[in-house]
Amino acid sequence: MTLSSVTSTIAVTSKAPGLVLRNLSVAYRTPGRPTVRAVAGVSLSVTPGQVVGLVGESGCGKSTLGKAAVGLLKPAAGLVEFDGRPVVPLGLRSRPTGQRGLQMVFQDPYASLNPRRRVGEQISDAVVLAGGTREKGRGVARELLERVGLPPEFADRFPHEFSGGQRQRIAIARVLAAEPTCIVADEPIAALDASAQASVANLLLELARERNVGLLFISHDLSIVRQIADTVAVMYLGTVVESGPTDQVWAEPRHPYSKALIAAVPRADGSGELPVDLPGDVPDPAFPPAGCRFHPRCPVAVDACADAEPALVEFLPRRRAACTVLAPTLEKVG
């Protein structure tokens, strides 16, 4: 992987092609309960051909962010742009043509495919929607099945005839039929077996490279993100606490939360070393802690951490972290 060839960063550049989130907030409102800001001001961008990993524990808001990014949820504040135009939240009408290049792969391939329709039909829908004939769609479906590593004859079968890994390949083929330039994949391999995980992750990476498709890869599994993402953003309770080129963040995490996440990954090296525990749970996002949202669990927290929310500071080119304790040691770039 040549990092130097990756032109974009997590930074927001205006009029950029691809997906851009600007200071995005998403809130859930329940009558009689406080508003939950599941995403509380996140900026990131995904350019064509770039693989961006978004990691964090469950409940950190990464799936909410993914849904808002493709227009399945309405932002409470901030902006989602795709190819320079705002992403309009989906309503009863069909998705605007300009947004069809933005597609999503869901976590559970058992729920995301219609069990009562042949997979070939489901794949060809995008072709028909784009004005093509069902006949053309059939041809496209067979080609795409082959591209995702399945025999074209599978087009005539139903989802229940396939394993989880095969279904996820079918879901990916269906997304490809829309000729996307950006794919948001929310935990696309979490429901699969280890060997199927590797092959589906490889497939997504290949597609991003070969078709110049941007990929926002949302996952709780750091080791897989480390393997395929060019840049990574670590999320905690609705905010990004650290971001940067994946190999740098992995080798030298700066934020205490990124450090803890990486140290908690067990290594299959036969050493018998227990992974490091990060005590506590992600707090209820309805009642986020004051100041730095991580401070109640943070091993290095000081009093000042409870006072103000630290800003995401670019301390090295393309590397950012948001930590009150680290702030004096993080030199601002420029």
Partner 1 sequence: MNDTPTPPAVDAEEPLLAIRDLVVELPGPDGERLRAIDGVDLTVGRGEIVGLAGESGSGKTMTALALLGLLPQGGSASGQMLVEGQDVLTMTPRQVRDLRGNRVAMVFQDPMTSLHPMLSIGKQLTEHLRHHKKLDKRAADARAVELLATVRIPDPERALRRYPHQFSGGMRQRIAIAIALACDPALLLADEPTTALDVTVQAGILRLLDRLRRENGLSVLIITHDLGVMSALADRVSVMYAGRIVESGPRADVLREPRHPYTRGLLDALPHPDGGTAALVPIVGAPPKLGQAPTGCAFHPRCPHAVDSCRQDRPRLLALTPTHAGACPIDPLAVAASKVDSR
Q: Does residue 299 interact with partner 1 by CB under 8 A?
A: no
Q: Does residue 276 interact with partner 1 by CB under 8 A?
A: yes
Q: Does residue 5 interact with partner 1 by CB under 8 A?
A: no
CB of 38 to partner 1, least distance (A): 15
Which of positions 231-270 make contact with partner 1 (CB under 8 A)? 247, 260-261, 264-270
Q: Does residue 153 interact with partner 1 by CB under 8 A?
A: no
Q: Residue 175, Cβ neighbours under 10 Å: how many?
A: 25
Q: What is the token pair recorded at 26?
A: 């998403």
- Only one of the segments 17-25, 35-43, 127-135, 222-230 lies at the binding site for partner 1 (rule: CB under 8 A); that segment is 222-230
Q: Does residue 38 interact with partner 1 by CB under 8 A?
A: no
- Only one of the segments 51-59, 65-73, 119-127, 310-318 lies at the binding site for partner 1 (rule: CB under 8 A); that segment is 51-59
Q: Considering beta carbons, is residue 109 or 165 the nearer one to partner 1?
A: 165
* Euclidean distance between CA atoms 109 and 265, whole angstroms: 26
Q: Does residue 34 interact with partner 1 by CB under 8 A?
A: no
Q: Residue 8, Cβ neighbours under 10 Å: how many?
A: 22
Q: Does residue 201 interact with partner 1 by CB under 8 A?
A: yes
CB of 105 to partner 1, least distance (A): 18
Q: By C-alpha distance, which of 287, 303, 238, 232 is closest to 35?
A: 287
CB of 226 to partner 1, least distance (A): 6
Q: Does residue 273 interact with partner 1 by CB under 8 A?
A: yes
161: Cβ contacts below 8 Å, ≥ 6 apart: none
For the stretch 124-127, contacts whose Cβ atoms lie closer than 8 Å and that sit 24 or more positions apart, written own/partner, are: 124/177, 125/174, 125/177, 126/100, 126/174, 126/177, 126/178, 126/179, 127/177
Q: Does residue 32 interact with partner 1 by CB under 8 A?
A: no
Q: By C-alpha distance, which of 224, 223, 222 is closest to 234?
A: 222
| Residue reference for tokens 């109640």 | 296
CB of 119 to partner 1, least distance (A): 17
CB of 169 to partner 1, least distance (A): 12
* Euclidean distance between CA atoms 70 and 2, whole angstroms: 28
Is 292 within 8 Å of 323 (Cβ atoms)?
yes
CB of 179 to partner 1, least distance (A): 25
What is the β-pairing status of strands 77-82 and 19-28?
antiparallel
Which of positions 104-143 make contact with partner 1 (CB under 8 A)? none
Q: Considering beta carbons, is residue 129 or 278 the nearer one to partner 1?
A: 278
Q: Does residue 300 interact with partner 1 by CB under 8 A?
A: no
* Euclidean distance between CA atoms 231 and 243, whole angstroms: 7
Is 184 within 8 Å of 104 (Cβ atoms)?
yes
Q: Does residue 199 interact with partner 1 by CB under 8 A?
A: yes
Binding site for partner 1 (CB under 8 A): 1, 57-59, 163, 165-166, 193-199, 201-202, 205, 220-224, 226-228, 247, 260-261, 264-279, 281-282
